[in-house]
């Protein structure tokens, strides 16, 4: 009987999370920086310099942060697998009993559960325990380099949006143009991320736009206050 091919949305979670986080942070942080320095009555050259510096620094920060955090996850997964391999070598029967208990809790009879546990153990004991006991799914394995590169790239793309808007807008319209463009981009990003993950688009778009608006409002208020005191 031929098998049909299936691809599940959860398989995208590794790169999707990093991509959405990077692009969202790029738009919000750079737009907030530009709006903040504009509120402080900065010169156009200062606004441009701030935006470029924010893009470069943010991309590097995102890459480093993602690599370190996902590397920690990968180290934890590796340590768990090493510990499980040791337990399998030391007491294989106890590990079979452990699998049996897991399958019984999932709804199999004791006899069927024991038979499944023994067959899967004979096929690949460590992979079976990794999946059924530790919850480690191959398609969702931690990949530090992938997360770092994805975050840095999408942050740069996101940060370029408000920066390009600031470059093209008249000096007196920089702040409102950047804020409007950033909110529209954030809403679109939220909808795209929701569509890629199979979730509701409207709710995701509104959630991202609201937090972006809040970040820009706070930064603008701080910039205006600092600018007035200088």
For the stretch 79-100, pLDDT in tens is: 888 888 898 888 889 888 888 9
pTM: 0.68
Which has more confidence, 13 or 225? 225
Confidence of residue 3 (pLDDT cuts 50, 70, 90): very low
> For the chain, what are the domain ranges?
10-225
The residue-averaged pLDDT of 46-74 equals 86
- Average model confidence (pLDDT) for the chain? 80
Q: What angle do CA 168, 172, 174 make, to 5 degrees?
A: 45
The upper half-sphere exposure of residue 220, i.e. CA atoms within 13 Å in the direction of its Cβ, equals 14
Please list, in sequence order, all residues whose beta carbon lies within 8 angstroms of the beta carbon of residue 228, skipping any fewer than 6 positions away.
none
Least confident of 10-14, 177-181, 199-203: 10-14
The upper half-sphere exposure of residue 142, i.e. CA atoms within 13 Å in the direction of its Cβ, equals 16
Residue-wise pLDDT for 159-194, tens only, equals 999 999 988 888 888 888 988 888 888 888 777 766
Confidence of residue 119 (pLDDT cuts 50, 70, 90): very high
């Amino acid at each position: 009987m031929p098998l049909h091919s299936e691809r599940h949305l959860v398989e995208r979670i590794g790169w999707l999370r990093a991509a959405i986080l990077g692009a969202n942070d790029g738009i919000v942080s750079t737009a907030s920086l530009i709006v903040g320095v504009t509120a402080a009555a900065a010169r156009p050259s200062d606004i441009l310099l701030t935006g470029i510096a924010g893009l470069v620094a943010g991309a590097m920060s995102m890459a480093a942060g993602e690599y370190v955090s996902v590397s920690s996850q990968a180290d934890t997964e590796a340590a768990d697998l090493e510990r499980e391999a040791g337990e399998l070598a030391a007491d294989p029967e106890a590990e079979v009993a452990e699998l049996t208990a897991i399958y019984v809790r999932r709804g199999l009879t004791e006899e069927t559960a024991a038979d499944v546990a023994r067959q899967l153990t004979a096929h690949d004991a460590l992979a079976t325990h990794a999946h059924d006991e530790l919850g480690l799914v191959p398609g969702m394995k931690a990949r530090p380099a992938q997360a770092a590169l994805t975050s840095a790239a999408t942050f740069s793309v996101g940060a370029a949006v408000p920066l390009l808007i600031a470059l093209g807008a008249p000096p007196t319209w920089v702040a409102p143009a950047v804020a409007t463009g950033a909110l529209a981009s954030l809403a679109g990003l939220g909808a795209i991320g929701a569509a890629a993950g199979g979730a509701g688009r409207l709710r995701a778009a509104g959630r991202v736009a609201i937090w972006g608006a809040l970040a820009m409002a706070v930064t603008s208020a701080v910039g205006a206050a600092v600018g007035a005191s200088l």
